Structure formats: structure tokens, C-alpha cells
Amino acid sequence: MVGKPDEGQPDYPNPLESDYEHLLDDYSHFAPPSEREVLQGHVLKITDTDVIVDIGYKSEGLVPIEEFRQPDGSIAVSSGDAVDVMIDRSAPETEGYIVLSHTKAARIRAWENLEKAYREGLLVAGRVVGRIKGGLAVDVGVKAFMPGSQVDVGRIPNLDALIGQDIPVKILKLNRRRGNVVVSRRAAIEEELTLRKTDALAHITEGAVVTGIVKNLTDYGAFIDLGGIDGLLHVSDMSYGRVSHPSELLSPNQEITVKVLKFDREKERISLGLKQLHPDPWLDVDQRYPVGARVIGRVVSVTDYGAFVELEPGVEGLVHISE
């Protein structure tokens, strides 16, 4: 009679299976990596023709030195550097070594980084490498296209001036299968301006003294860039004296310190003052120019009924025609 197995008896691990799993763990690093797997290795040695790389496997890897050669002829890596590599099945075999490619690995890694940046809306660094029809070619790890309309928030008359420059860009479109990437420097600039504007608005209060840059001049005043947001410095708030045009006191790109007179946070309107940084000359004018005192002034205007004489900026007196 065959007895039933004891259902309450515990199951003990098979020692053979356990030993086999340990063997797999201990010797799995001897198995060759897959062809499309990107590995991080460390440079062991640099020869005249190759860079020898340790990738943690039984055999060391070999990368053609030309894959690390810079345009000026220098080699971009040194012993001990970490590098991305992958197996290159298309290259001729070298006895005792695994033939690797840094270029192919860098391209795969670049696509992975670009896809992440595209998903998360991150900025990436690129270098403008040339002018092409409709815009510029930008190297972001792979060749990308930047339309002329996406170069800047304003019009740039000479796109060639950007060639060779490193710029931040945002990815607008990405198709890895087709190898297409469209980027925008304009979107990156707009994002930075928005951040600067938000920061500026958080720190501006009425009565605060701030520093800005003269952005442009008009007949009625000057617009001052306060770091992401503009404020208006009206011509009447520039000086206590007579100012016919803002250009008499200011010039574009000039750094200037002003006082915040009014701030409408909802409409994002800021009124600025320059003369308010100095005492009002009329506050003690009776002490400095007592009745009967002889003073010297400058005639600033003549009317039918007399002449206006400036005693100092902001202080004028009338000499009536009868006098």
C-alpha cells in the first residue's frame, strides 16, 4: 500500500539547484554581452592604434583610437577614465580581445538621453555645426535640425554667427526610427526668461531699490530690464530738473539703479523712479534761498510774461517781465 505524502512536511531546497544558481552568479560575468548592450568600461591603456578597456568580462576590450581622436589631433580619454562602449560585430576580430565601439555606444546613449529629455521637457546642450536650408544643424549627440524661426525670440539677421557656439536647446520633435530630431533655442530662451520673470516678480516690492539695464528709450521714458520683467521709468521721474528727452540722461544697455514707485502684480506693471533716490530740493528751498538773497541762475525759458531761471536742477524761479 502506497502512503500519501505528508502534506504538513516542509519542502527543503534541493542542494544541487542551489549550487547551480551560485555557479551562475559567480561565472555569469564570463558570458559575452549582447550586441546592442551599452557597457561602461574603464580605460586601462592607450596605444598608438587602440584604447584597451576593461568591461568586467574575461577578456579585455579594444576600441580603435580614432574613435577618441579630437579635431585638433588630441585623444579625448586617459587611463582610468570611464567610457561607454558596446561590442562591434562588424569590425575585424582581434585575438585575445573583444572588439568594441565607443562611437556606436555614444550614439545609442545619446538617443536614450534625448528621449528622456523629450519626455520630461528638459533642456539639452548642443553645438551649432553648420547652416542648412531653412535653419541650422545642431549636434546634440546626433545631428538635429533647428528651424530659423526657432533660433531666437527675435529675428537674427546672420545665422552663421552662431556656428561653432554651444547653446541650450529644447526638443520639439523626436523620431528615433527615422533618425529625426527638431530642436529650439527659442524655447530654451523663453523658458529661462519665464523663470527669471517669476523670480523677479517674487522679489519686487513698492519702495524697493533695484538695479536694471536700460532696454530701450522712447519720447516719454525708458524701459528698464529688471531681470526677466520690464519696468517703465517715465521721463518725469528721471530728474527734478528739466529733461527734454530720456537720451539726455540714459543710453541703451546702461546699468542703472532705480526705485520701485508702483507695482501692479496682476497686470505685471512696474513704475520706476530715478529722481526719488535723491532728496526733493524743494523740501528746504526756503532755507537755501531765503527772501532777499542774491543768487546766480540760468535762464531756461522765456515767455510773454517773463523768464524762468533755474537755480539748481528742479528749482526754478520766475523773473516777471515787470522786474
- Give the pLDDT of residue 2: 47
| Chain centre distance of CA 244 | 40
Instruction: Return the closest-CA partner of residue 259 out of 270, 246, 243.
Output: 270
User: pLDDT tens digit string along 38-48?
Assistant: 888 899 999 99
User: pLDDT tens digit string along 48-98?
Assistant: 999 999 988 888 888 999 988 888 888 888 899 999 898 888 888 888 888
What's the CATH fold of domain 204-277? OB fold (Dihydrolipoamide Acetyltransferase, E2P) (2.40.50)
Q: Are 141 and 183 in contact (CB under 8 A)?
A: no
Identical fold, 121-190 and 204-277 = yes
- Provide the mean pLDDT of the chain: 85
CATH architecture classification, 121-190? Beta Barrel (2.40)
Residue 160: phi and psi, rounded to 5, are: -60, -20
Q: 283 falls in which pLDDT band (50, 70, 90)?
A: confident
Tell me the pTM: 0.60
CATH 3.60.20.10 fits 36-106, yes or no: no
Give the whole-angstrom CA distance, residue 98 versus residue 96: 7
Give the chain's largest Cα–Cα span: 145
User: pLDDT tens digit string along 178-224?
Assistant: 999 999 999 999 998 888 888 888 888 999 999 999 999 999 999 99
Of the spans 27-31, 127-131, 295-299, which averages the highest pLDDT? 127-131
Sort 66 into a burial class: Cβ within 10 Å, 0-12 / 13-18 / 19+.
Answer: exposed
Indicate the domain borders of the chain. 36-106, 121-190, 204-277, 288-320
